[in-house]
Structure 1
Amino acid sequence: MELTEQDRKLITLLQADARISNQELADGAGMSASACWRRVRALEEAGVISSYRAVVDPAKAGLAFSAMVHVALVRHEADHVTTFISRVAGRPEVLECFATTGEADYHLHVVCRDKDAYNDFLEHFLFRLPGIANVRTNLVLREIKVHGPVPV
């Protein structure tokens, strides 16, 4: 799907406030409410807009511990990779997981209640996965930019 300037405006407005009314969205994009509704539906159906969700402040939700966890696998055996991905995807502590190039194969953003909960995550989950060669943790001291809008 080729994005128009109006599409880009709609996406930018929705990224700023996904709860905006259709009329406010239409006004902001300079189009009629019915045309706006149809265009947003088309963006959703094409998968350009994949979902809507609430962004929760982890600290205010009692999750004061935040870390970037860098994981290297022993070797890239298909079974180890498949197991790692499926198990990590099911863990609520893991907010994000990226497969990357470089020293680590995967980078995880993990949030927990406290360091004891993080240690439990390591000892009873991560270190027990097959094929783990190395785990390195960097504590998050301060969040500078979180969940920024996708530049369209």
Structure 2
Amino acid sequence: MNSKTDDLLRQFELADAADRSVSTYSGGMHRRLDLAMSLMGNPPILFLDEPTTGLDPQSRIAVWEKIKDLVKDGRTVFLTTQYLEEAEQLADYIVILHKGKIIAEGTLEELKKRFPPAKVEYVEKQPTLEEIFFALVDGKEDAQ
């Protein structure tokens, strides 16, 4: 392997599995490998089609962080997703499609301004299942 390959395998936490057949990789590992391979030629523009579909919460967050890093490094990333939370977290500019037609586009702030303002209500916020998962996993990893 060359240094670029080694570097990408380390970045995507695949170095320990480098000598294994890709057919033995988990779904999350496949997604990370796809993203790593797309970066081999240092492309200035990336097209990512639902890069986090089927990933566990930790892998999903890791892919989000990598996408954010790519944008910080000056790359343009076109991302398709059905997860609206993902679009809110990652997109600078959003295009909403419905039945194959663009029905809205703009920044998140622009889109929010086009609709009625949020209502102010008192709601007791319970932790989400994702927050519970990370609290459990983070606690166990710290104990080891």
Task: Please classify the TM superposition score into its range, dividing by the shorter chain length.
Answer: under 0.3
Higher helix share: 2
Q: TM-score, normalised by structure 2?
A: 0.23
Q: TM-score, normalised by structure 1?
A: 0.22
Larger RCO of the pair (alpha carbons < 8 Å, separation 6+):
1
Rg larger in structure: 1
